[in-house]
Amino acid sequence: MRLALREMRRRPGRFGVTTAILTLIALLLMFLGGLLDGLIAGSTGALRAQQADLIVYSDAAEESLVRSRLTPEERARVEQAADGARVAGLGSVQLGARLEGRGPRDLVPVVLFGFEAAPEGIDGGPPPDGRVYADDTLRAEGVDEGDVIRLGAARTPVEVVGFVEDSRYAGQGTLWGSLATWREVVGANRPGERVGDGVVQALVVGDGSGAAPAPEAIDRATGGATSTLTIDGAIDALPGVSQQRTVFTQIIGVTVIIALVVVALFFALITVERTALYGVLKAIGAGSGTLFAGVLLQALVVTLIASAIGVAASLAIDAALPAGSLPFLASPVRLAANVGYLVLAAAVGCAFSLRRVLRIDPARAIGGEQ
């Protein structure tokens, strides 16, 4: 083991090319993972922010918030099935927003949510009618506390009274107000989608503690008029989320395989070059396991150096990008997972050299025979 580290210190150039290639692979892997997490976060923040266990849609909505409508009668059945768990209404509408100081055609796409149970980042209940909290990514558009935003063709005014973090939905910034504000905005801008008092698009059940009833129990209580999902299930049901995960996971998998091949080829060549040296070491008592451990250690050191550069670059990109620009998120879980993938690829790649190390015969190797 000490011999392996000593070789790396004295002959760093031998490992330079492999380190550079693995660094590029690590950068690609970290960027892909950050891009995936950023896309998912930008599409699902509004649902992840819900301090609830379940979300209830109408049965005909096909798990779509836009198409869902729940009447007061259906809500009463849900509340009965909830057995004391909190039940709160939720509504949404996607509109173009006109900001102060901008031209009439310079619109910012936003999603207005009407809520009863405050999402994460909002203390207490909904703000007064006509006032909203804004997602902090809208700061990049010039939105500030106290600004009046005019929504839709009717230019319905709402005043920003604060900001919340990580609450984007469908890749758009969000506004959070009362259900009355939501109904007013929908009625003014989408007359055909106007809803009556007590009608909501969805219901959130529970407080996030896991004490809510099973989704099937709620759907049975409403006679099949509802479709109830966990928050995670509702996130997976959003259009494009599962497809994005599948595509990026496949690309990440191919990238890890490329890293494995690079390590395998490099250390296979290194093993061939060291055949005579390994023969001498075996002749003086070194075991095959010890020799392979040295190869593995060198591979891990090279991989960890490349991974460290990739992690540092990923964190730098995340810090440098302004909110609401490129959807990139350097999450600790994703970074640790990517480092783990690279380390695993290095270990598996080295395993291809194990057979050659085991087959080295000291007498033949020292005599120059392969």
Domain residue limits, the chain:
2-44+241-366, 46-237
**Which residues pair with residue 93 across a beta bridge?**
112
Residue type, position 108, single letter = V
Residue 7 tokens, joined:
């070789």
- One-letter amino acid for residue 286 of the chain: A
What is the reported pLDDT for 287?
Answer: 63
Residue 58 near residue 228 (C-beta atoms within 8 A): no
Produce one character per residue of 135-165: b if its CB has 16 or more CB atoms within 10 Å, e if not: bbbbbebebeeebebbbbeeebebebbbbbe
Which residue shows structure tokens 């451990």?
A: 293
Query: Average pLDDT for consecutive 10-residue bins of the chain (370 residues)?
Result: 66 78 92 92 92 94 91 94 92 93 84 94 91 93 92 94 93 94 94 89 91 90 94 90 89 91 80 62 62 79 93 94 82 93 87 66 55
Q: What is the distance in angstroms between the CA of the first residue and the CA of the last residue of the chain? A: 24
* Model pLDDT, residue 289: 66
Q: What's the pLDDT score for residue 363?
A: 54
Residue 192 pLDDT: 87
pLDDT, residue 268, reads 75
Sign of CA dihedral 179, 181, 187, 193: negative
pLDDT at 135: 95
Q: What is the pTM of this model?
A: 0.80
Strand partners, 132: 160
Q: What is the pLDDT of residue 159?
A: 96
Specify which residues 343 forms β-bridges with: none
Three-state DSSP at 56 gives: strand
Contact 347, 296 (CB under 8 A): yes
- Tell me, what's the pLDDT at 275? 62
Q: Fill in the DSSP letter of residue 286.
A: -
